[in-house]
Amino acid sequence: MMQNQVDFFHQPVLLNKVVDLLNIKPGEIYVDATLGGGGHAEAILKQGGRVLGIDQDPEALAFARRRLQTCPAPKGSFGGENAFKAVEGNFADLKQILNQEEVLQAAGILFDLGVSSHQLESKQRGFSFGLDEELDMRMSPKLQVKAADLINGLGRKELYALFTKYGQEKLAAPIIKVILEQRRQAPIKNTKRLADIISKVYEKRRQRIKIHPATKVFQALRIAVNDEINSLKAVLPQAVDILKKDGRLVVISFHELEDRIVKQFLTEQEKSLQILTKKPIMPSIKERRQNPRSRSAKLRGAQKI
């Protein structure tokens, strides 16, 4: 049976709007390419859809399987018993994963990009400047490069490109100057040491910001470690190919860089897709208050022609 007390893993963002945009038809297959804690997947299952969930994080898969695998199949099923199946993989390999699962077409594909609350808050994952642990930030244990490798291994120019492009960090140059000085003394291996370096640069320059000063650099490192931008660019055309006629592509992004890629892609695909959201849908004030992590979410959807 599906459980309800599971919000501690991740609270799904814009849940009702996602379900509306997916336009769920009972018995049809929906691909949740960022399964996470399975919050969105559960809503799709409750409406009678079948869900193939993909995540590159084995912790997310284990959690979502526990939560959802006994959901009864409305019609047809994966492997004969369930309406839900979870597969480990990177969504950049979407077509290959679906081929392996013998799923040729889908009625909807959902991307809820970025990291889950579980990943951000878990110990030993190294995503959070609020904890003191190894600078890791890999969503998948199969990835080879950790955030610490980038901080200690990249040159000044590469760090500058990383912090400005993926983090829009205005103080990139002075932050990098201190990183280079400090890592000469000893490699910067921990989240707290890096967060302190950044905070001190902000303090010294009397720069006040509403978010933690380390937010943008941490975001940039996370995007690079997980190759998030290239994965998104790689998967969008595959998603369009896999959608059935009238099938829905739904994407939630959490920063400008991602949203721009999605918006541009949807616009370029005017022969195959009809855009359903002229402007992105954003969380209400109530949702933003209840779930501060939703505050930067932008939801876009399109229908295959």
Ligand X SMILES: C[S@@+](CC[C@H](N)C(=O)[O-])C[C@H]1O[C@@H](n2cnc3c(N)ncnc32)[C@H](O)[C@@H]1O
Q: How many CB atoms lie within 10 A of CB 244?
A: 14
| Separation of alpha carbons 286 and 32, rounded Å | 26
State the amino acid at position 188 in one-letter form: I
Of 108, 110, 48, 38, residue with least CA distance to 83? 48
Looking at 28, 53, 55, 175, which residue binds ligand X (CB under 6 A)? 55
Pick from 30, 91, 129, 163 the residue near ligand X by CB under 6 A. 91
**Residues 188-247, interacting with ligand X (CB under 6 A):** 231
Asked whether 168 and 161 are in contact (CB, 8 A), the reply is: no
Contact segment (CB under 6 A) with ligand X among 33-41, 74-82, 100-108, 154-162 equals 33-41
Q: Which of 19, 36, 84, 109 binds ligand X (CB under 6 A)?
A: 36
User: Which parts of 265-304 interact with ligand X (CB under 6 A)?
Assistant: none
Q: How far is the CB of 109 from ligand X (least distance, A)?
A: 13
Q: Is 114 in the site for ligand X (CB under 6 A)?
A: yes
The region of 35-43, 160-168, 215-223, 278-286 touching ligand X under the rule CB under 6 A is 35-43
d(CA 56, CA 93): 11
Q: CA 150, CA 133: separation in Å to the nearest integer? A: 16
E strands, the chain, are: 29-32, 50-55, 84-88, 106-112, 243-253, 273-275, 298-304
56 near ligand X, judged by CB under 6 A: yes
Name which of 113, 92, 90, 106 is nearest 13 in CA terms: 113
Q: Of the ranges 89-97, 150-158, 182-190, 264-272, which one interacts with ligand X (CB under 6 A)?
A: 89-97
Identify which of residues 56 and 291 has a Cβ nearer to ligand X in the complex: 56
Position 126 contacts ligand X (CB under 6 A): no
CA distance 49 to 46: 7
Per CB under 6 A, the segment of 85-93, 96-104, 126-134, 170-178 that binds ligand X is 85-93
Least distance in angstroms from the C-beta of 190 to ligand X: 22
247 CA to centre of own chain: 22
Binding residues for ligand X, total number by CB under 6 A: 22
Give yes or no for a contact between 114 and 173, defined as CB atoms under 8 angstroms apart: no
- Interacting residue ranges for ligand X, rule: CB under 6 A: 10, 12, 34, 36-40, 54-57, 60, 90-92, 112, 114-116, 139, 231
